[in-house]
Structure 1
Amino acid sequence: MALPPRFRKDAVAVTEDKHPVDETLPPLKMFTSGLQHVAAMYAGVVAPPMIVGPAVGLSATETAFLMGASLFTAGLATLLQTLGFWKIGAKLPFVNGVSFAGVTPMIAIGKGEGADAIPVIFGAIIVAGVIGFFAAPYFGKLVRFFPPVVTGTVITLIGVSLLPVAFNWSQ
Structure 2
Amino acid sequence: MSSKRLPKSLEQPFEADQVIEAYAAFSGIGRNILVGPTRAEAVVWPRHVLAWLLRELTHLSWARIGHILGGRDQATVRHSTNKVETRRADDTAFAERVMRAYDFVTNYSPETRGSASIERARKLIASAPNEDVRDLAMSVLMATSMLASRELSDAEARAAALQIIGGRADG
Query: Normalising by the residue count of structure 1, what TM-score does the alignment of the two structures yield?
Result: 0.25
Q: Which structure would you say has the larger Rg?
A: 1
For CA contacts below 8 A with separation 6 or more, give which structure has more relative contact order. 2
